[in-house]
Amino acid sequence: MEERILKKHTAKTFNTAAVCVPTLHYMADISDKIARIVSELIEPGCYFTINRARQYGKTTLLSRLAEKLQERYYVISISFEGTDDIFTSAQNLVNGFLRLTARELCRTGISPGLLAEWKTPVDAPLELVQLDERITALCGQADKEIILMIDEVDRCAGHELFLTFLGLLRDKYIRRANGKDATFKSVILASVYDVKNLKLKMRPEAGSHYNSPWNVAVDFDIDMNLSPAEIAGMLQDYENDHCLGIDIPWLSRQLYEYTSGYPYLVSRICQLIDRKVQAETDTVRQAACWSPPGFLQAIKQLLITPCTLFDDINKNLDLYPELNQVIRDILLHGASYPYLISDNATQLGVRFGYFKNENGKLAVSNQIFETYLYDMYIMYDMRTKPEHSMAKQGTLEKTDFLRDGFLDMDKVIARFKARYDFLYSEQGWSFTEENGRFLFLTFLKPIINGVGNYYVEARTRDLTRTDVVVDYLGRQYIIELKIYRGKAYQEEGMEQLCRYLDHYGQDKGWLVSFCFHKSREKKTDIRQLQYSDKTIMEAVL
């Protein structure tokens, strides 16, 4: 009995808080990324910043990197989180830095004499000069080269002394390159913001500054998204422990498709399946939790459960209206923006992990973020436009759309058309063309809420076409929403929908066409068509 309890207590789990530890947590094997960092950045002696969005695995990466590097170097790994007080004066900065790093040096086995000299407090004046001399003595006399890692550096980026500290590290780097000094082999900073381009406000009267003395740092271009193969490795580790018969190739592809490899989202979905979905399932059927119904249940739980990542989205969109508007334009109106990092809204979206470069165009980075943002905009519409709310009608009629427990998409489309014609057929053309497809999602959301999920397929979203994929109790429904542009274009749309149905292994799809021609050359009705080997329900509004 004690043996079984101990095994359960020490079993590995999926982790979404702080650092991941291989012996305690299921995690992707990132050894290839670590090897690239070592060979391309550490061994040449580069200084660099790992700037990625929150909960992107930066702290875990630093931890794994430190383990790898300590075979050859002395590694000092510290964090500036919760250290605002050390930036109140030069003396506090120097002594605080010495204390933080001395703790780490104690673990390295460095010479006791060097350690004692390093951690001796400094006195005013010329504290920074003394720190300069201490670094020279430590790095010049140690029997191994020393790596300095600092996590959460943007927590103190608003302090002027932080720039002074970076300037000291930069100057020593330059002097070392000229053979005039000894200093750290490599300095690695981790932050959300790019330390080379921080927007700093030093004093109320000083205004904002973009300059940073970190211009010696090289670009960090290692892809930190988890690949399908890396996700599969993590799932295999779990399968080896639990023997559930998980279809690992399928699940790793699904996780990647929904998250684009965002580390937190991948681990969180697996964590929800493991903890919540399985907990609500009979032990005999737990293997099914890792198949489509369980996976979709975890997606639903993810989207309705508060977390700091979603809290950050709400906060950042409130703080940056320009960013909010660009996302609305892309998602709701099919706007196409070039991926220009010189644009302020693009910079913000990339920094926070909301945008990616998709063939030179700006795109929302993953389907989870897209769905969360759609839901947020739908809720806003319900609050601010109650007299035109399609969501209200969908809520009232929700139970009418079920047949044998499953979603009757034919009826959903028919009722949406009737409601749309009643509320909006006489609206101005420009209003309807911009908002028609969003109205459908507004109508759909409360109908599937609590049971199903939906997402908008980014590859087909533009000003004339959008594909919506609805997952409901393990069944998928593919709906194409189009602006009617004439018969030839409609024929092309049929072919596109059929190809997309093939991709999802479906025999039936739905085509919703918004006709804005005042001549109404296309009759507004609903009809069932056989196209190729597919059944298509077409609704023209």
Mean pLDDT of the residues in the chain: 85
Altogether, the residues listed in the chain come to a count of: 541
Most confident stretch, 16-20, 268-272, 283-287, 423-427? 268-272
- Residue in this structure with the two tokens 């969908």, named with its chain if needed: 394
Between 397 and 370, the more confident residue is 370
Alpha-carbon dihedral sign for residues 108, 110, 112, 114: negative
What is the Cβ-side half-sphere exposure of residue 191, based on CA atoms within 13 angstroms? 18
Between 404 and 28, the more confident residue is 28
Query: What's the confidence (pLDDT) of residue 141?
Result: 97
Q: Is the pLDDT of residue 224 over 60?
A: yes
Helix (H) or strand (E) run with residue 272 in it: helix 263-272
Q: Is the pLDDT of residue 243 over 80?
A: yes
Helix then strand count (H, E) for the chain reads: 19, 18
Spell out a b/e string for 154-188, using b for 16 or more CB atoms within 10 Å of the CB, else e. Answer: bbbbebebbbebbebbbebbeebeeeebbbbbbbb
pTM check: above 0.85? no
Q: Average of pLDDT values for 292-303?
A: 88
Q: How far is Cα 60 from Cα 186, in angstroms, rounded to an integer?
A: 19
Between 263 and 208, the more confident residue is 263
The torsion angles phi and psi of 337, rounded to 5 degrees, stand at: -115, 140
Percent residues over pLDDT 70 in the chain = 85
Query: What's the confidence (pLDDT) of residue 334?
Result: 73
Query: What's the confidence (pLDDT) of residue 273?
Result: 95
Under 8 Å CB-to-CB from 164, ≥6 apart: which residues?
A: 90, 93, 128
Asked whether the bond before 22 is cis by omega within 30 degrees of 0, the reply is: no
Residues linked to residue 454 through DSSP beta bridges, in sequence order: 470
What is the Cβ-side half-sphere exposure of residue 175, based on CA atoms within 13 angstroms? 15
3-state secondary structure of 476: strand
Lowest mean pLDDT among 17-31, 266-280, 414-428, 523-537: 414-428
Alpha-carbon dihedral sign for residues 244, 5, 271, 68: negative
Q: Residue 242: which of 274, 268, 280, 281 has the closest Cα?
A: 274
Q: How far is Cα 454 from Cα 476, in angstroms, rounded to an integer?
A: 9
Query: What's the confidence (pLDDT) of residue 283?
Result: 63
Q: Average of pLDDT values for 166-186?
A: 96
- Residue in this structure with the two tokens 């720039």, named with its chain if needed: 163
Confidence of residue 375 (pLDDT cuts 50, 70, 90): confident
Q: How far is Cα 496 from Cα 482, in angstroms, rounded to an integer?
A: 11
Q: pLDDT of 470-500, one tens digit each?
A: 888 878 899 988 877 777 767 777 888 888 8
If you ran DSSP here, which 8-state letter would residue 425 be given? T
Q: Is the pLDDT of residue 444 over 90?
A: no
Q: Is the pLDDT of residue 390 over 50?
A: yes
